[in-house]
Structure 1
Amino acid sequence: MNSLQTLLVATDLSAPSRHAAQRAAMLAQQAGARLELVHVLERGSLDELRRLFHDDGEAAQGRVREQAREALSQLTSEVGETLGVSAGHHLLEGAVLDSIGMQAELLNAALLIIGARGASGMRAWLLGATAERLLGLTRRPILLVRQAPREPYRKVIVAVDCSPWSMQSIRLAQAVAPSARLILLHAYDVPFEGKMRLAGVDDDMIKRYAAKEHQEVFLRLKQSAREAGIPASWQQQVIHGDAAAVILQQQEEEGADLIVLGKHGVGMVEELLLGSVTKHVLAEARCDTLVAAR
């Protein structure tokens, strides 16, 4: 099981990022982990502020730094004291995502936690892209927090593809939600189904292929659960269909409060497809989402 020794919250000091800090404090208390908060002042914005205020530019920059330092210190104290967790904080300047990624590596963070702003359409897709870029900058798993936390996670969907990376996702889910009911979910398509139809393969033959795939995956999921030592209360779901659509639909139907999925699949094609699935789920899910790193 993953050891959550250090948790790093990246905050922009907004209300959604406060939810992320609260969830991180809850996880730190649960795991006995060290909690750290980081806020990054974007260097370009500071330079623009100095240009606009001319002779008073340095003083304006100083006021912004001091306000950010006070707000970050206050947030750190509030989330830490509420749950009796000792927390540290870091005020950085530079490119935001690069700075967050470097701080996660510097602290050897077991988990990077960020808040999700309520958004739809293009902004939601940009949110998914932002989390994807952070995953490219650090090898740390990322938890995207959407909801104000009220209790530990209770029901978790773990999207698995039966690759070695799936075990990493399962163990991460166990570390973050040790008391939750886990649902191991595998969505699959019949290989070359479209080409088989074009070649005149009848529906019965395709159904037999699908049934065989279903049974093989079912057995592999059981094996993965045994290897991970998951308690007997876990569920498994093997569903034919588009992976992102299946994950989102099952989250709604099951009322899951967390989705866990991996960044990589099996081989280059699957890796690219899973990247698309990950971004889609990050943008569209209504619950918190945890992405295991490579």
Structure 2
Amino acid sequence: MNHLHTLLATTDLSAPSRHASLRAAMLAQQTGARLELVHVIEKKAIEELQRWLGGAGETLQERIRSQARETLVQLAADIGDPLGVSVGHHLAEGPVLESILAHADNLDASLLIAGAHGTRFMHHWLLGATAERLLRKTLRPVLVVKQPPRDAYRSVLVPLDFSPWSEGAVRLAQAVAPQARIILMHAFEAPFEAKLRFAGVEEDVIHRYRTKARQDALTRLDKTAADASIATDNCRPVVIYGDAAFRILEQEEERGADLIVLGKHGTSITEELLLGSVTKHVLAQSRCDVLVARR
């Protein structure tokens, strides 16, 4: 099982981002990980304020810094004290994304936590700019919090494609939600089925072909669970025929999942990590929290 040693939660000090901070505190309590909060004051905004207000801008700048610092300290106490969790806090100035990533590197954060939206969201489930940019730029796992947290995660949906990443995804799910039921899911469309049908192959032959593909997937899910040392009474394998993005959202609702674990592609922080079409669709349309890790 992956060990979570340091959690870094980003906050813009808005009410929606408070959900992410509270979820981070709950995870810290459950896993014993260290928790740090970071709030970044956008440097360009401060410089623009100075340009427009001149000398008066300096006084206002200091007031903004002071208020942000007080709010951040209060937030750390509000989320940490009731849970008995010590929460570190960092106030930074500069480009938001770069400042967050720098703090993540300095702390060697094993998980970043961000709200799905902040003060400027236009749609209830729209992914916020900071969360999306983090997902594309960091090699570290990112937990995108969409729901106000009430309890520890209870039902985690882990869609798998049987790539080398699959076992790591399961272990990460166990680390973030050690008490949850793990639903290992594979959505499949039998290879060459359309070509077989076009060639006039009988439906019962195609059905047998699809049945074999389903059984092969179940066998691989069982092996992945065994390799990740998941207790059989805490794991549910699900193999479904159809489009992966649609089926994931369907299973989220049907299984009552409160967390989905997905992957992204990339090997270096010098490149823009790729959010595949399935990951992007689920991030945009799911109602529950989403944990995204590099494949």
Paired position in structure 1 for 2:254: 253
Find the aligned partners of 1:24 and 1:208 in 2 and give their Cα distance.
47
Q: Does 1:282 find its partner at 2:283?
A: yes
Report the secondary structure of 1:182's partner residue: strand
Report the secondary structure of 2:41's partner residue: strand
Paired position in structure 2 for 1:74: 74
Find the aligned partners of 1:171 and 1:210 in 2 and give their Cα distance.
29
Find the aligned partners of 1:280 and 1:244 in 2 and give their Cα distance.
7
TM-superposed deviation, 1:3: 0.6
Find the aligned partners of 1:130 and 1:54 in 2 and give their Cα distance.
30
Find the aligned partners of 1:187 and 1:130 in 2 and give their Cα distance.
30
TM-superposed deviation, 1:188: 1.6
| Aligned positions of 1:229-240 closer than 5 A | 229-233=229-233, 234-240=235-241
The change in CA–CA distance for 1:259 and 1:52 in structure 2 (over 3 A counts) is same
Report the secondary structure of 2:232's partner residue: coil
The change in CA–CA distance for 1:204 and 1:176 in structure 2 (over 3 A counts) is same
Paired position in structure 1 for 2:31: 31
Checking the alignment, whether the CA contact within 8 Å between 1:5 and 1:109 is kept in structure 2 is yes
Find the aligned partners of 1:194 and 1:63 in 2 and give their Cα distance.
65
TM-superposed deviation, 1:182: 0.7
Find the aligned partners of 1:196 and 1:101 in 2 and give their Cα distance.
49
Q: Report percent identity of matched pairs.
A: 60
Checking the alignment, whether the CA contact within 8 Å between 1:169 and 1:260 is kept in structure 2 is yes
The change in CA–CA distance for 1:249 and 1:120 in structure 2 (over 3 A counts) is farther
Find the aligned partners of 1:257 and 1:87 in 2 and give their Cα distance.
25
Report the secondary structure of 1:17's partner residue: helix
| Aligned positions of 1:1-294 closer than 5 A | 1-117=1-117, 124=125, 126-127=127-128, 130-233=130-233, 234-264=235-265, 275-294=276-295
TM-superposed deviation, 1:241: 1.2
Taking only aligned residues, the RMSD between alpha carbons, in angstroms, comes to 2.2
> Structure 2 stretches of 5 or more lacking a match?
267-272
AA aligned to 1:14 is S
Find the aligned partners of 2:32 and 2:279 in 1 and give their Cα distance.
29
Q: How many matched pairs?
A: 286
Report the secondary structure of 1:3's partner residue: coil
Report the secondary structure of 2:45's partner residue: helix
Checking the alignment, whether the CA contact within 8 Å between 2:259 and 2:291 is kept in structure 1 is yes
Structure number with the higher helix fraction is 1
TM-superposed deviation, 1:191: 2.7
Report the secondary structure of 1:190's partner residue: coil
Q: TM-score of the superposition, structure 1-length normalised?
A: 0.90
AA aligned to 1:25 is A
> Structure 1 stretches of 5 or more lacking a match?
266-270
Checking the alignment, whether the CA contact within 8 Å between 1:168 and 1:292 is kept in structure 2 is no
Q: TM-score of the superposition, structure 2-length normalised?
A: 0.89
The change in CA–CA distance for 1:204 and 1:76 in structure 2 (over 3 A counts) is same
AA aligned to 1:160 is L
Checking the alignment, whether the CA contact within 8 Å between 1:142 and 1:293 is kept in structure 2 is no
